[in-house]
Amino acid sequence: MQEKYIDETKQGEAFAILEKPENGKKLFLESYGCQMNFSDSEIVASILNEQGYNTTLNVEEADLILLNTCSIREKAEQTVRMRLAQFKNLKKERPNMTVGVLGCMAERLKTKFLEEEQLVDLVVGPDAYRDLPNLLKETEDGRDAINVILSKEETYADINPVRLGGNGVTAFVTITRGCDNMCTFCVVPFTRGRERSRDPHSIIEECQSLWNNGYKEITLLGQNVDSYLWYGGGPKKDFAKASEMQKLTAINFAQLLDMVAVAVPKMRIRFSTSNPHEMTEEVFRMIAKHDNICNYVHLPVQSGSDRILQLMNRQHTRQEYLDLIKKGKEIVPDISFSQDMIIGFCTETEEDHQLTMSLMREVEYDYGYMFSYSTRPGTPAHKKLEDDIPADVKQRRLAEVIALQGELSRKRMQGYVGRVHEILIEGISKKNKNQWKGRNSQNAVCVFDMKEGQKLGDIVSVFVHGNTQGTLLGETVL
């Protein structure tokens, strides 16, 4: 099973950053979890780079170790705890080394972290990264430092992220932070706070600057991109209090897409994550209108059963979801969809499980990210519902859903065979270093033999002649 969105091999990977005037100290920065965390690490790197920190890929020589953490499932937290345990001996040898925890676990556990993990000196939540220089001063004076204040405004709009460990071709651009949706299973509203949108001017400037620096694809990021709403600042919840002028000139997600597509006309544009209850037909129309917006929507559904959807507070029915998918297929005939599913949510019956499977068959997703339900302390489901599905039942249902997605993926990949696709060259294939790997507009990965004159970042026409379950096999056409 894949970890969400981020290449499995990148989980917990440390990165190097630019060399600037040095303060003589070395930072080791590791990220876990979703794309947003990887994007946030680029903001953290930028802030610390300004302070003169250089990065190292060798933890043994680090003066500052930072882990940007994920709380979405218990397993994600265990991974970080295990990683911290590995630093214990290092800290004994180098007592002056500072160890900090950033991101969602920092926000969820707050001071508990300092009590439970003796080696942690610094705890910083996702809205407090600007305070890092001050917090680090406190740790230099030998005190533990913590800032987990969540903000209603912070979007880090003016911070130019240092692009970490990427391929120089694809980049993330954050457009919203936080989430107001309160799905009952989800810890994100608690760890990332109120939803707020970033100033469209700063988004466009960042996209243009990426284009000028050779980037060829951006992914606009938010927990819930469809609820993007810019009216001059503040959380979306306060929109009702905005002035008439602010309301008249407000910009929604479809309009933002339109603006970005025009501002960087040759840049490939993707976005993640869409939320079925807020996604509009207008967004599909923008995909259809602009060639540079990819024909792909990640549209998590979590379950195919209305009863479970209601318990999850997803705010839409199975039929509404299917209607939205149908609209998308009508407006963008060559569109692809992927899903997130939670298997074994509280009270899930065999019948509910079958409804999830039948929905998957109906939609025919290209990909899926499927997880066993993991109860998260503090969430509404944890407080009000019993995590009552036995682990072996969850495992069996999860295996069935993964197997079904495998079949659907294979079928969808087969549908791409026999046609020419425009593929953006994003890197070298892991299995064969004489082959490129890239993706088509629908986000399907394609590998093909390198030809003279081709380079990273080129968009090339590839004839697809075969496929595996998740990959297209092709060759470039001249």
Answer yes or no whether residue 339 interacts with ligand F3S by CB under 6 A.
Answer: no
Residue 329 Cβ vs ligand SAH, minimum distance, rounded to whole Å: 22
Distances (CA, A) of 391 to 2, 55, 343, 394: 20, 41, 11, 5
Classify residue 81 by its DSSP letter: H
The enclosing H or E element of 229 equals: strand 229-230
| ∠ Cα 359 220 41 (to 5°) | 110
Annotated binding site for [4Fe-4S] cluster: 34, 70, 104, 179, 183, 186
Give the C-alpha separation, 246 to 398, whole Å. 46
Determine contact, residues 336/295, Cβ cutoff 8 Å: yes
- Look at residue 53 and give the partner it binds from ligand SAH, ligand F3S, none, a contact being a CB closer than 5 to 8 Å depending on partner kind: none
| Sites for ligand F3S among residues 258-287 (CB under 6 A) | 275
Q: Which is nearer to ligand F3S, 97 or 381 (CB)?
A: 381
Do β-strands 420-428 and 459-467 pair in parallel, antiparallel, or remain unpaired? antiparallel
Chosen residue from 27, 67, 179, 210 binding ligand F3S by CB under 6 A = 179
Measuring CA to CA, which residue among 358, 340, 374 is closest to residue 2?
Answer: 340
For residue 279, the Cα-to-chain-centroid distance in whole angstroms is 17
- Look at residue 147 and give the partner it binds from ligand F3S, ligand SAH, none, a contact being a CB closer than 5 to 8 Å depending on partner kind: none
| Sites for ligand F3S among residues 157-176 (CB under 6 A) | none
Measuring CA to CA, which residue among 275, 340, 355 is closest to residue 307?
Answer: 355
Q: Which is nearer to ligand F3S, 147 or 184 (CB)?
A: 184
Residues pairing with 342 in the sheet: 371
Residue 177 Cβ vs ligand F3S, minimum distance, rounded to whole Å: 11
Contact stretch for ligand F3S (CB under 6 A) within 106-114, 180-188, 247-255, 385-393: 180-188
Q: Which is nearer to ligand F3S, 182 or 420 (CB)?
A: 182
Answer yes or no whether residue 123 interacts with ligand F3S by CB under 6 A.
Answer: no
**Total residues binding ligand F3S (CB under 6 A):** 10
Annotated binding site: 34, 70, 104, 179, 183, 186
Q: Which is nearer to ligand F3S, 273 or 441 (CB)?
A: 273
- Look at residue 189 and give the partner it binds from ligand F3S, ligand SAH, none, a contact being a CB closer than 5 to 8 Å depending on partner kind: ligand F3S
Give the C-alpha separation, 369 to 470, whole Å. 13
Residue 212 Cβ vs ligand F3S, minimum distance, rounded to whole Å: 32
Residue 35 Cβ vs ligand SAH, minimum distance, rounded to whole Å: 8
In the block, tokens 């981020």 appear at 6
What DSSP assignment string belongs to 372-433? E----TTSHHHHHS---S-HHHHHHHHHHHHHHHHHHHHHHHHHTTTSEEEEEEEEE-SS-T
Interacting residue ranges for ligand SAH, rule: CB under 6 A: 4, 72-73, 185-186, 188, 223-224, 273, 300, 302, 340, 342, 371, 373-374, 376
Residue 89 Cβ vs ligand SAH, minimum distance, rounded to whole Å: 33
Residues pairing with 64 in the sheet: 27, 98
Residue 382 Cβ vs ligand SAH, minimum distance, rounded to whole Å: 9
Distances (CA, A) of 116 to 67, 81, 86, 110, 138: 16, 10, 15, 11, 20
Determine contact, residues 332/284, Cβ cutoff 8 Å: yes
CA dihedral 87, 88, 93, 99 (to 10 degrees): 60
Q: Which is nearer to ligand F3S, 54 or 197 (CB)?
A: 197
Residue 478 Cβ vs ligand SAH, minimum distance, rounded to whole Å: 40
Answer yes or no whether residue 183 interacts with ligand F3S by CB under 6 A.
Answer: yes
Classify residue 235 by its DSSP letter: B
Contact code string over 42-81 relative to ligand F3S, x by CB under 6 A: ----------------------------------------
Classify residue 441 by its DSSP letter: T
280: tokens are: 């509009």
Q: Which is nearer to ligand SAH, 200 or 344 (CB)?
A: 344
Q: Which is nearer to ligand F3S, 122 or 225 (CB)?
A: 225
Chosen residue from 41, 223, 274, 442 binding ligand F3S by CB under 6 A = 223
Residue 416 Cβ vs ligand F3S, minimum distance, rounded to whole Å: 29
Residue 380 Cβ vs ligand F3S, minimum distance, rounded to whole Å: 10
The enclosing H or E element of 257 equals: helix 253-263
Burial of 311 (0-12, 13-18, 19+ CB in 10 A): buried
Q: Which is nearer to ligand SAH, 65 or 186 (CB)?
A: 186
Q: Which is nearer to ligand SAH, 28 or 190 (CB)?
A: 190
Interface with ligand F3S (CB under 6 A): 179, 181-183, 186, 188-189, 223-224, 275
